[in-house]
Amino acid sequence: MVAEDAGERWLHPAMLTSLVYRLGPPGVVPADPTRTMANGQCMVVDRARLLDAGGFEPVRANLLEDLALARSLAGRGHDVRFLDGTAVLDVEGYGSLGATWRGWGRSIDLRSVTLPAAQALDLAVVWSTMALPLPRLLAGRGDAVDVAALLVRLGTLAGTRGAYARRGLPYLLSPLADLAVAARITAGTVRPNRSWRGRSY
């Protein structure tokens, strides 16, 4: 991703990391089709298979049509993979911290494509392993589990760095945005935003 704004380079990696915590890294094919990941900025689909599955018609009312389509195809037995495409394309970011918060924040909870039980588990994972270990340690209430979780979180900085053309200090400080991201995911789960670009879903 190409992002010039420092705020976006701070917030976006935390949002991206929340997906890794919930759905795993690129290249891993989940056993459960309802856990398939996709990104609408770049999707490659076999035209005949897409038309045979009804095209976009089955997911036309879904705010997250890219994920809904990928999961629909995976559920029909098609081989659907979420791969790292950074070697072949660049995408532009939202342009600012505020635009990232609003733009990606509307869908980061994945509520419209995630079953309630999985949504609850996802929230538990994000809060317990990503958002709370650092605050607990800073408050003097942490333990060895929090230290281990924080080390894993810092390790994700190495794992996701290739997704960003420019990183710098904002990127390195992105774990400080984890608490806000967890709150955003929770808010979207409890009270989802069903509008996008003037349309309601």
pLDDT digits (tens, 9 = 90+) for 157-183: 999 999 999 999 999 999 999 999 999
Which whole number is the average pLDDT over 39-47? 86
Largest CA distance in the chain: 58
20 shares a domain with 38: no
Q: End-to-end distance of the chain based on CA atoms, in angstroms?
A: 28
Instruction: Tell me what pLDDT residue 96 has.
Output: 95
End position of a domain, from candidates 58, 83, 108: 83
Say yes or no: 41 and 71 in one domain: yes
Q: What Cα–Cα distance (Å) separates residue 93 from each residue in 1, 67, 119, 181, 182?
A: 6, 19, 26, 17, 20
Instruction: Name the average pLDDT for the chain.
Output: 91
b or e along 120-158 (b: 16 or more beta carbons within 10 Å of the residue's beta carbon)?
Answer: eebbeebbbbbbbbbebeeeeebeeebeebbeebeebbe
19 and 63 inside one domain: no
Residues 59 and 139 reside in one and the same domain: no
pLDDT digits (tens, 9 = 90+) for 126-146: 999 999 999 999 999 999 999
Band (51; pLDDT cuts 50, 70, 90): very high
Q: Does residue 118 sit in the same domain as residue 144?
A: yes
Count the domains in the chain. Answer: 2
54 lies in the same domain as 19: no
Q: Mark which of 83, 105, 129 sits at the end of a domain.
A: 83
pLDDT for 132? 98
Tell me the pTM.
Answer: 0.90
Q: How far is CA 58 from CA 49, 66, 71, 194, in A?
A: 14, 12, 11, 18
